[in-house]
Structure 1
Amino acid sequence: MKVAQVVRRFSFDEWGGTENVVWNSTLALRKLGIESEILATSALSLPGGEVRDGVRIRRFRYFYPYFPLPGKDRLALDKKGGSPYSPSLSRAMAKGGYDLIHIHAGGRIAMLAVAAAHQCRIPCVISLHGGFADVPKQELEEMLAPLRGKFHYGGVLDRLSGLHCNPVREADAVICVGQNEFRLLSPYGAERRVLYLPNGVDIEKFAGTPKARPVREEWNIPAERRLLLCVSRIDYQKNQKMLIPFLKQLTGRGEEVHLLLIGPVTAPWYAEELMALARQCRVADRVTLVPGLAPDDPRLVAAFRGADCFVLPSLHEPFGIVVLEAWAAGLPVLAAKVGGLRRLVQNGYSGLHFEPGIPATLMSAYERIVREPGLRESIVDWARQEVRCYSWPVIGRELARLYEGVCHG
């Protein structure tokens, strides 16, 4: 079987949850005899092809149907929320000789993929990686900010191109990585396959010995400081600013702590505000911001293995792959009680919840982890057992069964 894995962008330098899923599920499927090609726009990359670890990746030119569109606004759309046109990507999907198209995008890319599948008379599957059911209003407004005041000519192109379908309704199967989307779409299960298939993790990678210098040595973090780790995009959705007053409160009462933030900067203005707040709270010397690491960078594993606690304060989180990575590395997890984290993290068993808008709840969860060694050990042990259900081989087998079903059903 030959599958086209279609994604809006695919950059190893700007790694996110969707890229993580597409890449690792592709590798897991290869071991089961299913070959995939990854097709994407050249957003945050260059047009052309490459082969990495035996997987062919093809990137195509694209444009956003807005005028005028300065470079900074185009870059903002590339990083988050853009809905581009890519005629060359459309042609590649139609002429690639695929047996199935798996869509990991929304908007026009998804509609182009559905049209290509119909043209070739092959099935298509769409994965909802979040943002379908519960995007907060503020986040949606920020995503659309680059388009304000622009002339939109996409409607004319949509009509000329015949792009008017609803990809979720047209797909032969719908994969929900978040429980909210699954609950919303489950009534459609009689019409097509709708299933909940969570994201996965490379357990051996994060549980193993790091192949990099110790995290404190790498980023000059004093050994006596308790290290709090947050791995996520530097973005208003991820809410890292909540951690700065929390850090100030801890240091104000004499605790030796340090905050390590790792993730690509998808909202530069937010990163500037974050560090300005750290300076204002006089804790900038206790905050280290690493603007993204490649997925194969050994320093990422070293960070997980060398930290004392993992914190994820997101305002909106459909799933939370980084929680799986923390579990595999043996880190206790403090997670905001939002979105997919509500169900992924079992409060008191595989981690502790806190309310993202109530700092006192984060302090309470943190103090329990620090002052109750038995609870910490119990959470780590429980999480190590729980994470086995999310290994990529397990997810790959479920995905392969779905492919076989829609191809022969």
Structure 2
Amino acid sequence: MAVPPADRAPAAVAPLSHQQPLVRLVPGAAAVGHPEIRAQPLKPRVLLTTTAYPPSTGGVQAHVAELAARLTTFEADVLTLWLRNRTDWLLGTTLRLTGDLAQPSPGVTTLGWSSSARARMLPWVLSYYAYPAVAARRIAAQMVPYLEQVVQPEHALIHNHRIGREFLAQTSLMVARKRAMPFVLTAHHHPKWRGYRYGGWLEVYRAADAVLALTEFESAELQRLGVSGDRIHVIGGAADPPLPADAARFRARLRGSTGQVVLFLGQQFEYKGVADLFQAVAAIRSRGVKAELAFVGPATPFSTRFFSRRQAPWVHVLGTVDEQTKWDAIEASSVVCLPSRHEAFGRVYLEAWSKAKPVIGARIPTVGEVITDGQTGLLVDPGSVEQLAGALERLLSSPMLAASLGARGLGEVEGRFSWRQVIGRIEAAYSSVLEAASTKVPRSR
């Protein structure tokens, strides 16, 4: 198939230079029949855009939902493409995404593409892996009219959260520039995302008026990729508020097991250490440690293949569960273990801490900013089954150590990882870009 010429793709967009402040006109105190009109600032609204949103499960989805609910000096609307877990990142956001604009719940809008729009996307979807940056801009251009139907005059800025391919982020950026609005991006960046295939994302990173990073390591990585340091705001992370939970109710789902429960909580991707954890628990069981292993979170093609060949009575693969069952699982666990090779942050650790549970993570830079090894949890080298088995055995054989780590973790959730802290930093970033836009402050590139 002939690839569409690259020189016909839309030019990459540049950072915004200005934005007019929003005001509400209200009657003032004046003579009857001649009301004075005075300007009163609106409580600014932001449009949050994201590929997936609850009931789709995942750290980014939960983060966006909490952000929308917890903003204090701003209000939020949400636009999303998916409300369920999917892994067809390319086709699922383009050729397979049908349906009309809909509002499944107040403040949340979903999009789908017409058959003609999908036909126009087709050549660029087919050429995406050969020409990712060019193809991404052309695909995004087909999405612009749909997003423009959602943007309202009262929206002060657009804030995109990275999940999957870059098309919705590119679209959000294009519409923001067309409407002379600031564009904010939360990158949720993994260090492995670099090189030719990620050229489209780099355009978005570098053009954003503000990029919100979850950790100092992510901030440094973004600067190495060419993002101006004065546009980066480190916001940290926070967990969902815990629900009252029933450990016995969860154990009933494990065939009434009374053994210690090692809990994996998250999407069951290979890079999250699913196989490593399976092997580590098998190793400690061979040494006489009676442990059960529960996997809670959406299945993936990898996990489906993996567990079809590895079944044991001590392994429980529950897949996607509701919020109550998630908290029951945490309550029933002796340790929560997510030995990911890549994580943008690691909300799961905070959720475990909110129930005072000890955690084990991999010794990678981002997780190292969340877990203090030996103080709030244990860290192991990524991919080391031997170290992971040793850490599990250490915690399962020492209830006092496990309780101490969990208690210190609870203190972290109530302190530096609280939503009050995170929302304050995000709203400060919003105010910063709106102030810079309204005063026409030149922004360095």
For residues 238-274 of structure 1, give each alpha carbon's deviation from its aligned partner in whole angstroms, at most 9, with x where no partner exists. Answer: 1211122222222223332111101112x32x12332
SS in 2 for 1:166: helix
Higher helix proportion (structure 1 or 2): 1
The whole-number CA distance in structure 1 between the counterparts of 2:280 and 2:304 is: 18
1:237 pairs with 2:259: no
Q: In the superposition, relative to structure 1, how do residues 88 and 405 fare at CA in structure 2: closer, same or farther (>3 Å)?
A: same
Aligned 1:361-400 pairs, distance under 5 A: 361-388=387-414, 389-400=416-427
Shift of 1:237: 1.9
Aligned match of 1:104: 161
TM-score normalised by L of structure 2: 0.73
Q: Note the C-alpha offset of 1:395.
A: 1.2
2:342 match: 316
Instruction: Give the alignment of 1:194-209 within 5 angstroms.
Output: 194-202=232-240, 205-206=241-242, 208-209=243-244
CA distance in 2, matches of 1:34, 1:3: 7
Check the 8 A contact 1:334/1:353 in 2, yes or no: yes
- 2:66 maps to 24
- Offset at residue 380 of structure 1 (A): 1.5
Report the equivalent of 1:159. none
Give matches, 1:7-406, under 5 Å: 7-12=50-55, 14-29=56-71, 32-42=72-82, 44=84, 47-50=100-103, 52=105, 55-62=106-113, 63=118, 65-66=121-122, 86-95=143-152, 97-105=154-162, 107-131=166-190, 133-135=191-193, 166-186=203-223, 192-202=230-240, 205-206=241-242, 208-210=243-245, 214-223=249-258, 225-265=259-299, 267-268=300-301, 270-279=302-311, 284-294=312-322, 297-388=323-414, 389-406=416-433
C-alpha spacing 1:67/1:171, structure 2 compared with 1 (3 Å):
closer
Displacement of 1:293 in angstroms is 2.3
Closer, same or farther: CA 355–191 of 1 in aligned 2, 3 Å: closer
Paired with 2:201 and 2:303, the residues of 1 have a C-alpha distance of: 37
Contact 1:40 1:89 in 2 (8 A): no
Q: Which runs of 5+ in 1 are unaligned?
A: 71-82, 145-154, 156-162
- TM-score computed with the length of structure 1 as normaliser: 0.78
Is the Cα–Cα contact under 8 Å of residues 176 and 182 in structure 1 kept in the other structure? Answer: yes
Q: Determine helix, strand or coil for the equivalent of 2:313.
A: helix
1:47 and 1:344 map into 2 onto residues whose CA distance is: 41
Aligned letter for 2:388? L
2:102 alignment partner AA:
G
1-structure distance, mates of 2:194, 2:279: 23
**Structure 1 stretch 378-387 or stretch 304-313: which is displaced more?**
378-387
Whole-angstrom CA distance in 1 between matches of 2:246 and 2:283: 34
Task: Tell me how far 1:93 sits from its aligned partner.
Answer: 4.9
2:237 counterpart SS class: coil
Say if 1:22 and 1:330 are closer, same or farther in 2 by CA, change over 3 A.
same
AA aligned to 1:293 is: V
Aligned equivalents of 2:183, 2:100: Cα separation in 1: 25
Q: Residue deviations 1:298-339, cap 9 Å, x none?
A: 111111111111111212112111011011111110111124
What is the CA-CA distance between 1:171 and the residue it aligns to? 1.4
Cα drift, residue 373 of structure 1: 3.6
For 2:183 and 2:76, the matched residues in 1 are separated by: 14
- Unaligned 5+ segments in structure 2 are 1-43, 86-98, 127-138, 437-445
Q: Is the 8 A contact 2:247 2:331 kept in 1?
A: no
Contact 2:294 2:315 (8 Å CA) reproduced: yes
Please give the secondary structure, in 1, of the residue aligned with 2:102: strand
**One-letter amino acid of the structure 2 residue matched with residue 372 of structure 1:** S
Percent identical residues:
20
One-letter amino acid of the structure 1 residue matched with residue 50 of structure 2: V
Q: Is the 8 A contact 2:269 2:303 kept in 1?
A: yes
3-state DSSP of counterpart to 1:103: strand
> What is the CA–CA distance in structure 2 between the aligned matches of 1:164 and 1:197, rounded to whole Å?
20
Change (3 A) 1:335 1:92: same
Alpha-carbon spacing, 1:258–1:135, altered in 2? closer, same or farther (3 Å): farther
Q: Which moved more, 1:375-384 or 1:233-242?
A: 375-384
- Shift of the 386–164 alpha-carbon distance from structure 1 to 2, 3 Å rule, reads closer
Name the amino acid aligned to 1:24: E
Counterpart of 2:422, as a letter, is I
The separation in 1 between residues aligned to 2:298 and 2:405, in whole angstroms, is 29
Distance 2:237 2:361 in 1: 17
Q: Is the 8 A contact 2:330 2:352 kept in 1?
A: yes
**Counterpart amino acid of residue 235 in structure 2:** L
For 1:41, the aligned partner's letter is: L
Select the structure of larger CA radius of gyration: 2
Instruction: Check the 8 A contact 2:46/2:157 in 1, yes or no.
Output: yes
